[in-house]
Amino acid sequence: MGQRFSLRQVEPADILSGAQTIPTRQASTCDWLPANRLSPQTYLGWAKLDLGAGDDRGFCNALANAKRATCARIDRLILANYLLPFVGKTYPEKTQVLRDIGISIPPVIHELIIDPRNEAEHGYKLVNSSGANRAVGVAELFIQATSEEAERVPIVALNWNVNYSFYCGKTGEKIEFHGFATQPMLFIDVSKYPRR
C-alpha cells in the first residue's frame, strides 16, 4: 500500500520553524535558472570595450551595457531566491526585495547606472566620459561584490528522503519510486514556474 498525502494550509512561520530542525548537511540543489542568457560579465566586458572607443557612441553604449550587466545580475538574484512575483517589477522594487532578504544592493546602482541610462535612452541625453566611466566602474564593483551570491544554486530540498532506483540501459531510462524514508524533508516545488 502506497503512502497517502493530505493537503493542508500551513502558516509560513510554521514552515520556517520546522525547516530549522532539518539538518542542512544534505541540501539538494538544482540550477534550473535559464542558461541561454548573456551573463553580467559579458555585458561588462562589452561596456569596457565601448569605453575604449573614446567617443559619444562608445560612452552611450558603455552606459547601456553597464546597466545591462547590473540588471542581469539583479534578475538572476531574483530568480535564484524564488522571488518570481517580482520578475516584472521595477528595479527599485527588485532591489528593495533583495535588501529585505539580506542581499545588499546599494542606492548608488540606481544613481550612477540605471537612472543615467534611462535619461540617456528615454531623454536622448548625451553621455559624457566621466558618467560612462563611473557607471562601468560601479557595475564592475557590483558584479564582483555579488559574484559569490550569484553562484549559489537554488535549494530544492533539505534532507532529501525519496527512495528510488534509476536504471539506464539499451531500452532507455527507467526510474522506480519506492517511497519516502522516515526523516523529515523540506521540498521546494520549482516546477510551478516552468522555464521560459
Q: What is the DSSP letter of 84?
A: G
The reported pLDDT for the residue numbered 24 is 65
Q: Which one is predicted more confidently, 104 or 7?
A: 104
Q: Which three cell numbers stand for residue 2?
A: 502506497
SS3 173: strand
Closest C-alpha to 71, from 100, 48, 37: 37
Q: Which CATH number fits domain 40-151: 3.40.720, 1.25.40, 1.20.120, 1.10.357?
A: 1.20.120
pLDDT score for 44: 98
pLDDT grade, residue 190 (50/70/90)?
Answer: low
159 pLDDT tier (thresholds 50, 70, 90):
low
Looking at residue 187, its pLDDT comes to 64
Q: Is the pLDDT of residue 194 over 60?
A: no
Reported residue count of the chain is 196
Task: Decide which of 53 and 177 is more confident.
Answer: 53
Query: What pTM was estimated for this model as a whole?
Result: 0.71
Which of 18-32, 71-85, 109-123 has the lowest average pLDDT? 18-32
pLDDT(133) > 90: yes
Domain edges within the chain: 12-31+154-187, 40-151
Q: What is the mean pLDDT of residues 105-122?
A: 95
